[in-house]
Amino acid sequence: MSLKILSAIVVPPHLAVSGASKAAEKLSVALQAHDRIDIANMGMASRVPMDLSKPGERIEVRTSSPFAGLDSVLPNRAKTLFYQSSIPALIRHGSYDLVHIHNPIPALEMMRVARACVAKGVPYVVSTHGFVEIGNPAAFRRMDAARRLAWDLLIDRPVRYVVRNAAAICAISPVDLPIVRGFGFTGDDIAVIPYGVDRPTDWGAPTSADQDIHRKFGIPEREEDGGPVTAFFLANHTANKGLGVLLDAFVGLSMPFRLIVGGEKRDFVDCEAYQRRCGPGQTIHLTGNLVEAEVAAMFRRSDLFVFPTLADTFPNVILEAMAFGVPVVASRVGGIPHQVDDGCAVIVEPGDPQALRTAVEQLAADPERRARMGRHGRLRATQRFDWAAAAADTHRLYEAVIRRPAGAAVLRAA
């Protein structure tokens, strides 16, 4: 059964790079093997080329903000919650069998997309990317009264509406199951469908093109004896990514190191201050945003991928590190323990710079272990995490929704 699907990717349009956007695009393009997929992405980032030989199109999305003109005085993290888009209008005027909603922020816009589906009588499926980050009651309890009220009105209530009225849920890892049940999903159509990962063809030693990229960021090529251990971190520098933990761990090391910090810079951490604290033989490279070729070059140059995130659902960057054969050091949060195993990663408790430092020290001193971990991680990534398999499972979930008897879905409006 071939269906007409709208892939609605709800992400802040100002993000230059978004893991949620990239993963949603990858899955949507893989789904072209089964269905007609129209992609409507609020963000300008991570646009994956569609298969033009198969039905489907990319629909440009108009976005707006009630705070237009206040860019100089209002930070992006405040504006993020209020962006609106033309996606609800696409649903109202379109003829889709089903809508697949990706990403919960901005939650008000996610709810507007869901309301348009409810009004049109079009079933929708929700992927759980980002649900670990927003489904953390401990973080909510630490907020003051004003922040709790804002969270309730701008994030929690809209997401609950969307989840309650969803026809089905695509959970990215088993960790997401109690979260969506806690948000009010009572249906039977819920499936754990992990994301996939691309198989890099040039995944081993740096290429000649890599050398130009490394020079661009002031990163020397490897020394004959290997030189100091090189670690790579890649994420938008938002508060939940653990950048402060990463830097606290590394500047406390007594050994030489080279740390490559990639991703869109934010004001949560004064990275330059950490650079000034580095000792002899210790270097921190701040690259800013990286395009895909630059990311690949950094993976091929690195001995470790270090990702001490404080809250994450299923970071695809960890799968990418594994696919490049790079050992991983990461936090025990969200779906990460379902991505890795002891053969390819060292898992530490979140928010613990000392535990992170110890893991890095141990791996830095054992290149043979790193090589074994890299080989195991690449095998695990390529065998377990496949976009084609994820698309096939997602299509089967779509079919289950469409084949449901008329009137079987009960809308649970707020």
Q: Are residues 191 and 305 in the same domain?
A: no
Say if residues 329 and 344 touch (Cβ distance below 8 Å). Answer: no
| Position 202 in a domain | no
Domains identified in the chain, total number: 2
Q: Are residues 184 and 86 in the same domain?
A: yes
What is the rounded CA–CA span in Å between residue 404 and residue 393? 17
Q: Are residues 118 and 154 in the same domain?
A: yes
| Position 76 in a domain | yes
| Position 104 in a domain | yes
Report the pLDDT value the prediction gives residue 412, as an integer from 0 to 100.
44
pLDDT digits (tens, 9 = 90+) for 90-138: 999 999 999 999 999 999 999 999 999 999 999 999 999 999 988 876 6
pTM summary value: 0.91
Q: Are residues 232 and 117 in the same domain?
A: no
Least confident interval from 38-47, 213-222, 296-305, 388-397? 38-47
| Position 414 in a domain | no
Q: Are residues 362 and 395 in the same domain?
A: no
In the structure encoding, which two tokens stand for residue 181, read together? 């049940």
The model's confidence at residue 45, banded by pLDDT at 50, 70 and 90, is low
Say if residues 238 and 299 touch (Cβ distance below 8 Å). Answer: no
More confident residue, 293 or 204: 293
Q: Are residues 218 and 326 in the same domain?
A: yes
Name the residue range of residue 338's domain. 208-384
| Position 411 in a domain | no
| Position 171 in a domain | yes
Provide the 10 A C-beta neighbour count for residue 3. Answer: 17
Q: Are residues 379 and 230 in the same domain?
A: yes
HEC sequence for the chain: CCCEEEEEECCCCCCCCCHHHHHHHHHHHHHHHCCEEEEEECCCCCCCCCCCCCCCCECCCCEECCCCCCCCCCCHHHHHHHCEECHHHHHHHCCCCEEEEECCCCHHHHHHHHHHHHHHCCCEEEECCCHHHHCCHHHHHCCCHHHHHHHHHHHHHHHHHHHHCCCEEEECCCCHHHHHHHCCCCCCCEEECCCCCCCCCCCCCCCHHHHHHHHHCCCCCCCCCCCCEEEEEECCCCHHHCHHHHHHHHHCCCCCEEEEEECCCCCCCCHHHHHHCCCCCEEEEEEECCCHHHHHHHHHHCCEEEECCCCCCCCHHHHHHHHCCCCEEEECCCCHHHHCCCCCEEEECCCCHHHHHHHHHHHHCCHHHHHHHHHHHHHHHHHHCCHHHHHHHHHHHHHHHHCCCCCCCCCCCC
pLDDT digits (tens, 9 = 90+) for 360-402: 999 999 999 999 999 999 999 999 999 999 999 999 999 999 9
Average pLDDT of the residues in 392-413: 77
Q: Are residues 216 and 160 in the same domain?
A: no
Report the pLDDT value the prediction gives residue 328, as an integer from 0 to 100.
98
CATH number at residue 87: 3.40.50.2000
More confident residue, 226 or 179: 179
The model's confidence at residue 413, banded by pLDDT at 50, 70 and 90, is very low
| Position 203 in a domain | no
The model's confidence at residue 319, banded by pLDDT at 50, 70 and 90, is very high
Q: Are residues 377 and 247 in the same domain?
A: yes
Q: Are residues 350 and 260 in the same domain?
A: yes
Q: Are residues 66 and 127 in the same domain?
A: yes
| Position 407 in a domain | no
With a cut of 60, say whether residue 170 has pLDDT above it. Answer: yes
Q: Are residues 178 and 306 in the same domain?
A: no
Q: What percent of the chain has pLDDT over 70?
A: 93
